[in-house]
Structures are given as C-alpha cells and as structure tokens.
Structure 1
Amino acid sequence: MKNLNRFLESTLLRPTMTDREVDLLIKDAIEEQFIGVCVPPFWVKKAKRDLKMEDIQVVTVIGFPFGFEDTATKIAETKEAILNGADELDLVWSQTAFHSGMNWPKIEIAQLAKICHSEERILKVIIETAYLTPDQIREACLICQDAGADFVKTSTGYAPTGAKADDIRLMRETLSSSLGIKASGGIKTLDFALELIRAGADRIGTSSAKSIMESNRSLR
C-alpha cells in the first residue's frame, strides 16, 4: 500500500521499556517517516527533542491504562504533556463512569478537548471496545463526538482483545466523517493493518510498525 507509513503510529508503552528502545523507536520512525510515535509521558520531552526537525507527531497517553484517575488529575497530565511537547494526546476515558451510566465521561472529554484545542493539539479518546457491546460502541462514539474529540481509538492493549475490523466498521458508520478512528491493540501483521484501514481506520497504533513496513515493501 502506498503511503502506508502515514497511517502508522509506532508505539512503545511497555513498563520495562528502556532509553535504548526509545532511541530505536525514534530512529525507525525517522527512517520510515511514520505519522507519529506514541510514548509514555515520561519520554515525551526526549521524543520531541529528537524529532524536532521531522514531520512526525509526538503522541502520548493520559489516564493510561484504565482511566481511573479523576478529571483534575487528567487535566494536570494533559497540561504537563503539552508543555513537554506532545502533539497528540490519547485519553483513556472514564470506563467506570460510563459503565455506571454517568454523564461524566462526556463532561471530562469536553474539558480536555478544550485544553488540547486551545493549544492546537489533537485529542484521541480510547473507549476500550473489548468491554463494550455494539450498542455501547455506538453510544461511546457519539459521546466522544459530541464532547469535541478529534479521534476515537479502540484499545489500550491491556484489555482481553484489541482492534477488530467489525468494530472499526461500526465506528465509521456511527461517527461523522470529520472524526478520525485510531485502531490499536494486537495489530502485528500487514494483512491485519490493511484490513483495518479498509474498514475505516485513519490511524494504526502498533508496536510492529517497522515489521509491517518491511512486509509492505516485500510485496512490491
């Protein structure tokens, strides 16, 4: 697929990750010209510094991986990440509030979207599709859309399952064309990445971005 690299966010979010692994992530991103690299908040400042001259987005996570933090904590995380150079922020929404039937997820997303947009940053919301029925996926997408999110994202990678093509199709059918969809969780192969893109994904978050690109080149 032509321009596959511009769909890929190369991701490294393991608790045991080292600075050498971050260096390799950034090196691969520069070589492949991925659309972005997704790193923990601890590594945002380094990633921004190392990618300063590149057209590569620095992406980080907020409320990761379960979204349990209160809104004030997520606001503080967001402001700090932006200060350190994050271009895009992937927010784990309040799953516990959603499953309790509260309106709080929409309120929280709206507050964080306002902060991100005032700084010209992108907000993606992780709804963790593994824990949602199709009707709940639709509801979650509309909450994110109404609250001002820029993307809806499938997964953290910490749930029992990750991205699924059927979920992506459902999300695409539900969301306005102005909202992006980021597929993440368990995306290891070129075939699966392409299937998700065909289903409607605008971004692919994966720790296998380099090998996916190598597989793509082998087909030419």
Structure 2
Amino acid sequence: MTDAQRTAASLAPYIQHTAIDTGLTRDDIVAHCEEAARYGFNAAMIPASWAGLAAEVLKGTGIAVASALDFPTVGVMTSEGKAAEARAIVAAGGEQIDMGVQVGWLRSGMEKEFRDDIAGVVAAGVPVKVMLELPLLSADERERAVELAMDAGAAYLKNASSGAVEVANPESIGYLAARVRDGVKVKASGGIKTLEQARALLDAGASLLGTSSGVAIVSGGEGTGSY
C-alpha cells in the first residue's frame, strides 16, 4: 500500500488506542473505549483493573479489549504474579495482553526462567505481546530474547514498552520483522505521534501500533500522549 493509499483514517485498524495513565477514572475509561469504537481502532489498551468495564463498553463493537501487566515499571513482578494477573485479565474480559519481561534474568543468563516467565502468561489463553526492551540488550541478548519469546508462545514481539525506553523506529521494527517465525507478528510501541511515523513503522513490518496519540494520527495531526 502506498502512502497515498495509506491515508490517516485508513490507519485506524492498525492502532491499539492506549490509556495506561495513573488515576484514570471510570468516566475516562468509558470515554476512551467509546473513542476506540468511534474511530475503529484495533483495540482499546487499558489498565487491567478496568478490563471488565472495557469489555462491557466494547461488547458487540468488534474492538478488542487489551491490557498490560508488569508495566509501566517492567520486570518487577514475580512469574507467579504475572500468571495470576493474566488469568484475572482474561476472566474479566481481556482479549489481549502486553507484558514486560525480566530483562535482568536474561542478562544474568537465566534463559529458562526468562522463557518460562513469558510462557506463564501465554497459558492464560489469549494473544500475548512481549515487550523486549531492545535498547537495553546487547546484540547477542537481543537474538536470544527474540528466540526465547517465540519459544514461549508469544503472538507478537514488541520493540519496547514505551517511549521512555525507545521511540519506535523502522530499524528496530525491521530487526524484529526479519526474525519472526510464521504466525508471529510485530507490534511497534513508544512515542508514535505522527502519520509519517506510523506509515514508516508499518512499512518496516509492524502489524500493530501501540500509541496514546491515535486520534491525532488518524486526524492527520501530531499527538502529545505519553505512550
């Protein structure tokens, strides 16, 4: 698809509309989900504590309920806690999960523990998107992270958890797209605020874009969101 064909509005199905800020109210979540439905975004990404409400608001719209765990501070939860949280998200109506990984375990050579941590979330039974935090890893660690995440059953590989770690860029997305196995996809995340960025990331191989600037992007403007 050319840039001319990939108009601002046509990008909505690729965008996971994100609101993970502290202190979100019930009204905020309802408005966010209604916005996701109005613009036809791929999913509403909301805090786990609001998954049940999001599922109610989005019922029948075709917009997925997505949530995140071990985020925004990544790698601080126990594996048992992550697995339990994943089950709770699914029970509440969550349909997708983005998860932080144990970067420190990988860098310590604890590859089995790193893989099993991801597998415990995958066992909840919904697609899992794994935030690999590529800028924090050496070249060899990146290769191992990609392989271990796919071995654990990841449905998507992500370059990073947020713009604080890495602003999503074609190089990182291309790196992941060149390595995914059949059936595994790539999600770009971190500081995506413009139509030009979104187009470049999709061209590089992303299937989904995680951003809190989705409305600005599909309206042809520039976002100011934190994710």
TM-score between both structures, scaled by the size of structure 1: 0.91
**Superposed, which structure 2 residues align to 1:35-184 within 5 Å?**
35-65=42-72, 66-103=74-111, 104-116=113-125, 121-157=126-162, 159-184=164-189
**Secondary structure in 1 matching 2:23:** coil
Gaps of 5+ in 2: 1-5, 222-227
**CA apart distance, 1:113:** 1.6
Gaps of 5+ in 1: none
CA distance in 2, matches of 1:189, 1:13: 20
CA distance in 1, matches of 2:32, 2:174: 30
CA distance in 2, matches of 1:42, 1:168: 30
**CA apart distance, 1:135:** 3.6
CA distance in 1, matches of 2:29, 2:58: 12
Aligned residue pairs total: 212
Across the aligned residues of Structure 1 and Structure 2, the Cα RMSD in angstroms comes to: 1.6
**Secondary structure in 1 matching 2:219:** helix
Distance 1:23 1:109, change over 3 A: same
**CA apart distance, 1:10:** 0.3
CA distance in 2, matches of 1:164, 1:108: 27
**Per-residue Cα deviation, 1:182-216 (whole angstroms, up to 9, x for no partner):** 11110011100110000000000000001111118
**Per-residue Cα deviation, 1:57-79 (whole angstroms, up to 9, x for no partner):** 10001111212111110111011
CA distance in 2, matches of 1:195, 1:134: 23
CA distance in 2, matches of 1:202, 1:134: 24
CA distance in 2, matches of 1:82, 1:172: 28
Structure with the higher helix share, 1 or 2: 1
After TM superposition, the structure 1 stretch with the greater mean CA deviation from structure 2, 154-163 or 168-177, is 154-163
CA distance in 1, matches of 2:165, 2:150: 25
Amino acid paired to 1:76: A
**Per-residue Cα deviation, 1:153-199 (whole angstroms, up to 9, x for no partner):** 12221634232210110111111141111111100111001100000
Could you list the structure 1 runs, at least 4 aligned residues long, displaced by more than 6 angstroms after superposition.
none
After TM superposition, the structure 1 stretch with the greater mean CA deviation from structure 2, 34-43 or 160-169, is 160-169
Residues 129 and 162 in structure 1, CA contact (< 8 A), matched pair in contact too: no
**Per-residue Cα deviation, 1:116-144 (whole angstroms, up to 9, x for no partner):** 2xxxx111111112312344322211111
TM-score between both structures, scaled by the size of structure 2: 0.88
**CA apart distance, 1:114:** 2.5
**Secondary structure in 2 matching 1:124:** strand
**Secondary structure in 2 matching 1:60:** strand
